[in-house]
Amino acid sequence: MDNNKSNRRRYTRVDFDASVSIQQHETYYNAELVDVSLKGMLVRLPNADIKPNQLLNITLTLSEAVSIHCQARWAHKKNDIAGLSIVKLDVDSMQHLCRLVQFNSGDQDLLDRDLQQLAEECADNDGYTP
């Protein structure tokens, strides 16, 4: 893999309308999903006092029966849009996330590329890390 490609890795982001619950310590926030990828998500989070560099427990509700649960770190915030980097994800949630990206991107090749990049990063970092 050439250096330019490895230096500008990007994951396919898909727009999806869903509610997001964010927990930081004992504080809970409700947010709206803007978009999501295998490595993170953008959420609309007005009036939140999220502290950087601390783990957040995230629940992304897809339906009454299906939710994605993960841990994430606050990556950036501009106005009421926050970027969250996923740092821990269970197998069931990963499967739901992959399906979500696949169905909403409409391109299996993009998902395959993203999964390959994720696998390479996990191998390089001894696990799933941002």
Query: Going from the N-terminus, what domains does the chain have, and what CATH number goes with each?
Result: 15-125 (2.40.10.220)
Sign (positive or negative) of CA dihedral 88, 92, 95, 96:
negative
Q: Per-residue pLDDT averaged across 57-83, rounded?
A: 92
Instruction: Give the pLDDT band (50/70/90) at residue 114.
Output: confident
21 vs 126, which has greater pLDDT? 21
Residue 4 is which amino acid? Answer: N
